[in-house]
Structure 1
């Protein structure tokens, strides 16, 4: 892709939208946890997302919603549903920056799972990425030096779930549009969450609705903004912008919740992000 200054600025603006969306979801999840069960606001979020995606598809053509791979969609969304539950639970319990730092291991798990599920080669660069990722996690969790919060392992499990989702997405994206994947994501997850949400249903207080609408919209805009950024610039340009999520969410956590972040978290996250960047640059050179 021939990059110009306007392309980079445009990609940067779209990624800013994605960063704001991710942080809005985290803050929304934290605020809603005081009034509603996680499964209930996940269900409402899926309904809001379904309305948004359905309206977009109605304008752009409903023909793209043809369901061709129901089994892959089902497995993808089951893993994503479980990962999202773990992520929303975690943001209500531990510091936001810690959640985002551990979540950055998702590309590492994706590389490992893709090796077995898609037959992708485990190159030297990918092995280095995996080792740096595990080292970063050890620095963040510091086993043996202090008590590890069990919720950190829930975030790790969520990262594995997200990575499995990415592998299924790669299979679907070969001949399915992004809107097709998003439509069945929110649709199936609304079905998954219906009965569990009804079992613990509480009438949402009026103050919760702005946050419910926020996480419903942000879930769509985060994916849409990243897709638009990728159209304007290569992954090697876009991905480093995404890593700005960590310092931004650390600042938000400090300002809103007085959350303190230590040097070990940034050091561990730095190793994880370094490994991810190495892998992205290597893949870019290989495909170029």
Structure 2
């Protein structure tokens, strides 16, 4: 009877995790829409600042819950470096959302796990075997299908989107290092506290005071970004990253539908094909890393799985994502 109850409980946890991850995908997709809406009046750099400002407001209850002791750390220099890389990634990601079709910008953000895998080998010395390298190579083929360098469909802004993904991978490595000694809520709170002044500096060079509906869009961006991260982290506490990472890719079709309905954007065949290839690559990498972590025993996690427990650079995707990625 207990075994049956345990199985029912596990199934409920899986269903809840899937539902939370879908909610996260929806929140991040809607955040991309609010960024695009706000860009009718504001520069992407200024939108990033307001997203961080209101995101900090929504994150402050963490301090009320844990007290000032949450901020006690000896790793302030690592927080600063991780946040500086993250804010540059965010500026690139927000620019991609504004100047590229939404589906293309979001899909390219999901290339972060490819760069995370490479960085984990170079920086952390993690071992990656032939099958995961093959998945990484396939993922880069998907990226090339979307970017299409040397063709009429190429846009220099797609390189900015890829830059955001590369920097987001650096953020994921920073999270991996910090998570060895720091609490997840401390990483979240320090991120918001650093990002506000860091993103204010470039915003001042393009400053325009928002008016009317624009206030709704920038407050919404802050709320939806924080909400998406909350859904994301709670989903990963209930389910395996190997199951949930592919589900997070639901953000791409959601944002594609929103882009078509609100901005008249269509998804070209090359973007759709590239998205499918990147999806398959990410799904295999997540599955393989989860399998290796289970074989290594309890408490052992690869960089991509560990990084998924805290927000990376908050670009088109979760930043990654994970991620995001």
Shorter-normalised TM range: over 0.9
Give matches, 1:121-270, under 5 Å.
121-270=127-276
1:31 to 32, 37, 40: 37
Q: Where does residue 315 of structure 2 map in the other structure?
A: none
Q: Where does residue 312 of structure 2 map in the other structure?
A: none
Higher RCO (C-alpha 8 Å, min separation 6): 1
1:282 to 270, 277, 288: 288
Structure 2 Cα separation of the partners of residues 175 and 168 of structure 1: 12
If the length of structure 2 is used for normalisation, what is the TM-score? 0.84
Structure 1 Cα separation of the partners of residues 167 and 88 of structure 2: 7
Structure 2 Cα separation of the partners of residues 109 and 135 of structure 1: 13
Structure 1 Cα separation of the partners of residues 72 and 179 of structure 2: 14
Compared CA separation, residues 262 and 10, structure 1 to 2 (3 A)? same
Which structure 1 residue ranges, 5 or more long, are not aligned?
none
Instruction: Report if the CA contact (8 A) 1:125-1:278 is conserved.
Output: no
Structure 1 Cα separation of the partners of residues 213 and 153 of structure 2: 36
- Is structure 2 residue 76 aligned with structure 1 residue 70? yes
Stretch moving more, 94-103 or 12-21: 12-21
Structure 1 Cα separation of the partners of residues 141 and 16 of structure 2: 35
Secondary structure of 1:120's match? coil
- Is structure 2 residue 52 aligned with structure 1 residue 46? yes
Q: Where does residue 307 of structure 2 map in the other structure?
A: none
C-alpha deviations, 1:215-266, integer Å up to 9, x for none? 1112211221111001111112211210111111111111111111122212
- Is structure 2 residue 149 aligned with structure 1 residue 111? no
C-alpha deviations, 1:176-207, integer Å up to 9, x for none? 12221111111111111223323332221021
Instruction: Report if the CA contact (8 A) 1:129-1:272 is conserved.
Output: no
Which structure 2 residue ranges, 5 or more long, are not aligned?
1-5, 295-325
What number of residue pairs does the alignment pair up?
Answer: 288
1:85 to 86, 91, 98: 91
Instruction: Report if the CA contact (8 A) 2:30-2:255 is conserved.
Output: no
Q: CA deviation at 1:275?
A: 1.4
Q: CA deviation at 1:147?
A: 4.0
Q: CA deviation at 1:284?
A: 1.7
Across the aligned residues of Structure 1 and Structure 2, the Cα RMSD in angstroms comes to 1.7
Structure 1 Cα separation of the partners of residues 149 and 156 of structure 2: 12
Moved over 4 A (4+): none
Instruction: Report if the CA contact (8 A) 2:55-2:223 is conserved.
Output: yes
Instruction: Report if the CA contact (8 A) 2:16-2:238 is conserved.
Output: yes
Instruction: Report if the CA contact (8 A) 1:46-1:189 is conserved.
Output: yes
Structure 2 Cα separation of the partners of residues 279 and 242 of structure 1: 14
